């Protein structure tokens, strides 16, 4: 097993390096800032190579969550589903990217797992869409029933009420 990094051995140095990476500092800037801990530039480079992608993923995920919260329709609480779907989609795409970056061709089992994961994400997106369609249909039926009840109260006839209900529900007119 490889020895622990000089950064990992010193909690103060680790905290300082992680903060500087998160702030977007270069390896040279970080090395200069933590020189008092005796950490080499190569140690900072190795640590940043592993740590920076995690920081970037967290920043990206926070931005996505914030954007989704701002753009969700009023009264619809699908935010957590949208976030989960986005994150799952991102992970599947990262798997494909990582596999493409490998020097070796991925084995069939790994490809099958990635394709299966992608299929699950797509099916979840379809299920969410179907659920939203069901909600919209249910709301239209409620609106149509309320309109018919109001028309009957106002003294409208059955033909007029039926006509309005069909229009609200998007049902074609009856042939005459």
The per-residue pLDDT for 28 is 93
Average pLDDT, the chain: 79
Residues 6+ apart with CB under 8 A from 34: 13, 16, 17, 20, 44
The per-residue pLDDT for 30 is 92
Q: Helix (H, G, I), strand (E, B), or coil: what is residue 149?
A: helix
The per-residue pLDDT for 135 is 80
Instruction: At 140, list the tokens.
Output: 């239209």
The per-residue pLDDT for 165 is 84
Average pLDDT over residues 27-48: 91
Tens-place pLDDT, residues 102-155 = 777 777 777 788 788 888 888 888 887 887 788 888 888 888 888 888 888 888
Q: Which of the four pLDDT bands, split at 50, 70 and 90, describes residue 32?
A: very high
CA distance 100 to 89: 17
The per-residue pLDDT for 155 is 86
Instruction: At 83, list the tokens.
Output: 């976030």
The per-residue pLDDT for 71 is 64
The per-residue pLDDT for 161 is 82
Is the overall model pTM greater than 0.85, yes or no? no
Q: Which of the four pLDDT bands, split at 50, 70 and 90, describes residue 31?
A: very high
Q: What share of the chain is helix, strand, coil (3-state, %, to 5)?
A: 80, 0, 20
């Amino acid at each position: 097993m490889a020895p622990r990094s000089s950064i990992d051995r010193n909690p103060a140095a680790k905290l300082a390096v992680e903060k500087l990476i998160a702030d977007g500092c270069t390896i040279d800037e970080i090395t200069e800032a933590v020189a008092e801990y005796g950490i080499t530039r190569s140690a900072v480079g190795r640590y940043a190579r592993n740590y920076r992608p995690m920081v970037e993923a967290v920043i990206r995920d926070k931005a996505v969550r914030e954007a989704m919260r701002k753009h969700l329709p009023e009264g619809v609480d699908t935010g957590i589903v949208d976030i989960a779907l986005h994150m799952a989609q991102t992970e599947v795409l990262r798997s494909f990217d990582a596999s493409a970056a490998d020097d070796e061709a991925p084995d069939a089992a790994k490809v099958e797992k990635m394709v299966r994961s992608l299929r699950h994400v797509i099916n979840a997106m379809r299920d969410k869409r179907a659920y939203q369609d069901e909600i919209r249909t249910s709301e239209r039926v409620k609106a149509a029933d309320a309109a018919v009840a109001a028309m009957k109260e106002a003294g409208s006839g059955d033909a007029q009420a039926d006509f309005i209900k069909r229009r609200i529900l998007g049902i074609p007119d009856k042939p005459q």
